[in-house]
Amino acid sequence: MRVDQLLHWLCLTKSRSLATRACHEGRVQLNGQGVRASHEARAGDRITLQDPSHEHPLELELLEVPAGQLSRAQAHACYRVMGTGGTRDAP
């Protein structure tokens, strides 16, 4: 699944266009590498998302790729938060 679509479906960004912008601005990494919005993400990948409104990036491991858009509660089951580099809670 495309990284931008994944970030939106997991409720990590408000829209797919915002996820695409984050990729273009270099605020999204997949397995430690900068990533284009169209890059395919798979279960087991590690995603780092730097939100400009927070000091520390959100680091998570993708446990499963969702089959469609999820509620926030369902989305949490698809990933595991590895760290935030600070004390911020997961979104």
Residue 22 has pLDDT above 80, yes or no: yes
89 in any annotated domain: no
The pLDDT of residue 54 is 76
The pLDDT of residue 31 is 95
Q: What average pLDDT score do residues 4-14 get?
A: 94
Domain total of the chain: 1
87 Cβ partners below 8 Å, 6+ apart? none
What domain range is 18 assigned to?
3-83
Residue 7 has pLDDT above 80, yes or no: yes
The model's pTM? 0.84
Q: What average pLDDT score do residues 43-52 get?
A: 92
Q: What average pLDDT score do residues 36-41 get?
A: 96
44 in any annotated domain: yes
